[in-house]
Amino acid sequence: MPPKKGPKLHELAAEVKIGYKIVDSKKKTYIVGKQFATGGFGRIHTCHEENTPKTELVMKIEPADNGPLFSEVIVFQKILKLEQIEAYKKRMKLQWLGLPYIISAGIFTYTNQQKMRFMILPKYATSLENIREKQKTLALRNVLEIARSMLNSLEYVQEMDYTHADLKAANILLEKLGDFQKTVLVDFGLARFSGKIEDKPEKKRAHNGTCLFTSCDAHRGCNPSFRADVEILAWNLVYWLTGTLPWLQLETNPEKTFEEKRKFIAGLPATLKSALKSTPEGEASPAFDFILTLLNCSAKTGYAEKVDYSKLRKSLEVAVGKLMKEAKKSTSASSTSASASSSSASASSATPRRGTRKQPPPPPPESSEDSEDQENSPQKSTPTPPKRTRKTPKSTTKNNTSFLSGNESILSGSPSISRQNNRSATISAAKKIEKKYRRKSQVVTSSPIKNQHAMRTRSGITAAMKASPTQLRSVPGMLNFPRGRRTIFIKETAAKFKQQQEEEEVEE
Ligand SMILES: Nc1ncnc2c1ncn2[C@@H]1O[C@H](COP(=O)(O)OP(=O)(O)OP(=O)(O)O)[C@@H](O)[C@H]1O
CATH architecture of the domain covering 12-123: 2-Layer Sandwich (3.30)
Burial of 137 (0-12, 13-18, 19+ CB in 10 A): buried
Q: Where are the domains of the chain?
A: 12-123, 124-197+205-337, 370-507
**Catalytic hit among 24, 161, 166, 187:** 166
**pLDDT at residue 44 in the model:** 95
Considering 212-216, 360-364, 424-428, the range whose residues carry the highest mean pLDDT is 212-216
Cβ of residue 479 lying under 6 Å from some atom of ligand 1: no
Is the per-residue pLDDT at 407 higher than 60?
A: no
- Strand segments (E) across 156-311: 162-163, 172-174, 183-185, 192-193
Q: Which band of pLDDT confidence, cut at 50, 70 and 90, is reported for residue 42?
A: confident
> Does 384 have pLDDT greater than 50?
no
- CB of 190 shorter than 6 A to ligand 1: no
- In the prediction, which pLDDT does 237 show? 98
Q: Which range, of 2-16, 50-64, 226-240, 305-319, averages the lowest pLDDT?
A: 2-16
381-403: string of b/e by CB count within 10 Å (b at 16+)? eebeeeeeeeeeeebeeeebbbe
Is the pLDDT at 178 greater than 50, yes or no?
A: yes
Q: Which CATH superfamily is domain 124-197+205-337 in?
A: Transferase(Phosphotransferase) domain 1 (1.10.510.10)
CB 3 near ligand 1, within 6 Å:
no
The span from the CA of 51 to the CA of 472, in Å, is 43
Residue 62 predicted with pLDDT over 90: yes
Contacts of 264 (CB under 8 A, 6+ apart): 246, 271, 272, 275
Average pLDDT, the chain: 78
* Ligand 1 lined by 1 (C-beta under 6 Å): yes
481 confidence band (pLDDT: 50, 70, 90): low
228-286 pLDDT, tens digit per residue, is 999 999 999 999 999 999 999 998 999 999 999 999 999 999 999 999 999 999 999 99
- Eight-class DSSP state of 457: -
Q: Is the CB of 39 under 6 A from ligand 1?
A: yes
Q: Which of 74, 26, 73 is nearest to 50 (CA)?
A: 26
Ligand 1 centroid distance, CA of 324 (Å): 34
Question: What's the alpha-carbon Rg for the chain, to the nearest Å?
Answer: 24
Q: What is the pLDDT of residue 120?
A: 98
Instruction: Pick the closest to residue 408 from 424, 431, 390 (CA basis).
Output: 390
- Over residues 5-20, mean pLDDT: 70
Would the pLDDT of 177 be above 80?
A: yes
CA atoms within 13 A on the CB side of 129: 14
pLDDT at 382: 28
Q: Is the pTM of this model over 0.90?
A: no
CA of 12 to the centre of ligand 1 (A): 14
Same fold, 12-123 and 124-197+205-337: no
C-alpha 88 – ligand 1 centre gap (Å): 25
> Taking 70 as the threshold, does the pLDDT of residue 493 lie above it?
yes
pLDDT (0 to 100) of residue 391: 31
Measured CA to CA, the distance from residue 7 to residue 241 in angstroms comes to: 31
CB of 173 sitting under 6 A from ligand 1: yes
Residue 380 or residue 454, greater confidence: 454
ipTM for the predicted complex comes to: 0.95
Distance 70 CA to ligand 1 centre (A): 15
Burial (CB count <10 Å: 0-12, 13-18, 19+), residue 101: middle
**Lowest mean per-residue pLDDT among 135-139, 176-180, 231-235, 487-491:** 487-491
Is beta strand 104-110 parallel, antiparallel or unpaired with respect to 114-122? antiparallel
Residue, of 210 and 420, whose pLDDT is higher:
210
Residue 166 known to be catalytic: yes
Contact 496, 465 (CB under 8 A): no
Ligand 1: which of 61, 185, 186, 211 to mutate, judged by most atoms within 8 Å of the beta carbon?
186
Query: Is the pLDDT higher at 492 or at 90?
Result: 90
Between the CA of 122 and the centroid of ligand 1 the distance, in Å, is 12
